[in-house]
Amino acid sequence: MSLTPKTPIPEGAIRYNTDSNKMEVWIGQKWMIVSTSSPNLDGGTRGLILGGQHSSPGPGVTNVIEKITISTAGNGTDFGDLLANSRDMGSAASRTRGLTLGRADNSDVISFVTIAQEGNAIDFGNLTTGRRGGEGVSNQTRAVCVGGNNDGGTHYNIIDFVTIASTGNALDFGDLTTTKNRTSGAGSPTRGIFYGGAPGVANNIDFITIATTGNAQDFGDTLGGGGAMAAVSSSTRLVSGEGSLTPVYGLGKIEIATLGNSVKFGDMLSNKFSFAACSDSIRGVFAGGDGSPAQFNTIEYFNISTEGNLVDFGDISFQNQQVTGLSNGHGGL
């Protein structure tokens, strides 16, 4: 039988519950079951790659949403359109809905799509502050948007949240430990993780408990630090791509239920940043990106549970950067 000790339990502690035969994590008030399987989705988990600024065909900002099936390999195909030409957005998703969170030009717009059904985005509501470069994480119920900056150069430590199944404006959640934008984010059903960021070389990792509200806490440090990265996760592990804006170029990993610094996971195929990320809790996928001056239309993947390098998956339609990604099977669900 599993008993709760009388001494204080550190947040993030894990245990094996012999009554339920489940792994559990302590979230400050109670033990929560850690999910260790990906959701059963007919036809495989769908990934969406949304918006971005492209160099080919012709320079511009796009409203295009493309879809992939993460368990297979292949090129992106058309899903629908965003509300407007959009870049530098945050994103989050449940098994049903995918949300975009802000965008360049100081927009506070939140939009949503139904992931299983092709079509155009629909207005959801507004963030508490218009900004670009915010990062989203989510569980099945709640989406959280953190950080970002406006076009005047002001950086934010804001954390907002919305209830995914409804529509309406975001509410205040708390604050990050520092002001930053273009952090990479992913998590488990319990924790949201925010890995690195800009301006400068921010190497801190923050975490929150998604189901509660409050300020972020320190988790550890990234491999090298910097912004414009992207991350994916299973329910237990986060892997972030650290591209050419960081001193260390490659893939870093952390175990979500613990605290500590990132360690090396593998290597990327190309030195880039500002790419999209999505996962099915087994595979992590990166799409597009900026190598300055080169931009990329490549899609690459790796297995989250094993260490290793990215391999080719297919292509998206544009050589595209400042692009975002989401899925209906990520590690937060």
SS (HEC) of the chain = CCCCCCCCCCCCCEEEECCCCEEEEECCCCEEECCCCCCCCCCCCEEEEECCEEEECCCEECCEEEEEECCCCCCCEEEEECCCCCCCCEEEECCCEEEEEEECCCEEEEEEEECCCCCCCEEEEECCCCCECCEEEECCCEEEEECCECCCCCECCEEEEEECCCCCCCEEEEECCCCCECCEEEECCCEEEEEEEECCCEEEEEEEECCCCCCCEEEEECCCCECCCEEEECCCEEEEEECCCCCCCEEEEEECCCCCCCEEEECCCCCCECCEEEECCCEEEEECCECCCCECCEEEEEECCCCCCCEEEEECCCEEECCEEEECCCCCC
Q: Are residues 105 and 148 in the same domain?
A: yes
Q: Are residues 137 and 165 in the same domain?
A: yes
Q: Are residues 20 and 145 in the same domain?
A: no
Same domain for 220 and 296? yes
CATH (domain of 317): 2.120.10.80
Whether 332 is in a domain gets the answer no
Q: Are residues 25 and 156 in the same domain?
A: no
Is 153 found in the same domain as 8? no
Residue 303 falls inside a structural domain: yes
40 domain residue, yes or no = no
Are 317 and 65 in contact, with CB atoms under 8 Å apart? no
**103 domain-assigned:** yes
Query: How many whole angstroms separate alpha carbon 274 and alpha carbon 53?
Result: 10
Q: Which two tokens stand for residue 21?
A: 């035969």
Q: Are residues 171 and 146 in the same domain?
A: yes
- Tell me, yes or no, whether 333 lies in a domain: no
Do the domain assignments include residue 160?
A: yes
Domain annotation covers residue 137:
yes
Could you tell me if 18 and 127 lie in one domain? no
Enclosing domain of residue 2: 1-34
Residues 7 and 63 in one domain: no
For residues 285 and 294, give the distance between their C-alpha atoms in angstroms, rounded to a whole number.
Answer: 20
pTM of the model: 0.87
209 and 171 in a common domain: yes
CB 244 within 8 A of CB 275: no
- Are both 14 and 96 inside the same structural domain? no
Mind listing the pLDDT tens digit of every residue in the chain (333 residues)?
445 555 677 665 667 666 655 666 666 666 666 544 444 455 689 999 999 999 887 889 999 999 999 999 999 999 999 999 999 999 999 999 999 999 999 999 999 999 999 999 999 999 999 999 999 999 999 999 999 999 888 999 999 999 999 999 999 999 999 999 999 999 999 999 999 988 766 789 999 999 999 999 999 999 877 778 899 999 999 999 976 555 556 899 999 999 999 999 998 888 888 999 999 999 999 999 998 888 999 999 999 999 888 999 999 999 999 999 999 999 999
Side-chain-side CA neighbours of 167 within 13 Å: the count stands at 10
Q: Are residues 198 and 158 in the same domain?
A: yes
Tell me if 41 is assigned to some domain: no
The CA R_g of the chain, rounded to the nearest whole Å, is 18
Domain count, the chain: 2
